[in-house]
Amino acid sequence: MVRLKLSGRLERILLVGFAAVLVGCAHQAPKPLYDWGNFQGQLYEHFKADSSRPDDQLRLLEEQQQKAQMRGAALPPGFRAHLAMVYLRLGREVEARVQMEAEKAAFPESAQYMDFLLKRMTDVKS
């Protein structure tokens, strides 16, 4: 076994450096990609019994949207689409369209489905 002989000062410097690296790594928690808030719980309750009133659901979703905007956090996939559906249940088509377009802009992979829903809204009106 080979043993390196280090001076006391060099040994302390290495020890302090090693401790600093460990502390630095331990305090860096990854930032979540999306601000889910209580969105998943709201969806579960909505689809479990469909007992939530649309105006209550709208209030909760709009509050979460405002909180995320204030923190500069991104809304999760499907949030705006679900908000659009709640707007539709309340007969607020303009707001629903705005949310569907926002969902498409935020998540381009949803464009085909959002376009399908937008077309259905137009076809129903005709």
pLDDT at position 7? 65
* Token pair of 48 as six digits: 């479990």
3-state secondary structure of 101: helix
Top-level class of domain 39-125: mainly alpha
d(CA 87, CA 57): 10
> What's the whole-model pTM score?
0.68
Sign, Cα dihedral of 40, 38, 69, 82: positive
Q: Any idea where the domains of the chain sit in the sequence? A: 39-125
pLDDT at position 64? 93
Residue 114 neighbours by CB distance under 10 Å: 22
Tens-place pLDDT, residues 69-101: 999 999 999 999 999 999 999 999 999 999 999
In 27-92, alpha helices (H) = 39-49, 54-71, 79-89
What average pLDDT does the segment 108-115 reach?
95
pLDDT class of 5 with cuts at 50, 70, 90: low
Instruction: Determine the residue type at 52.
Output: S
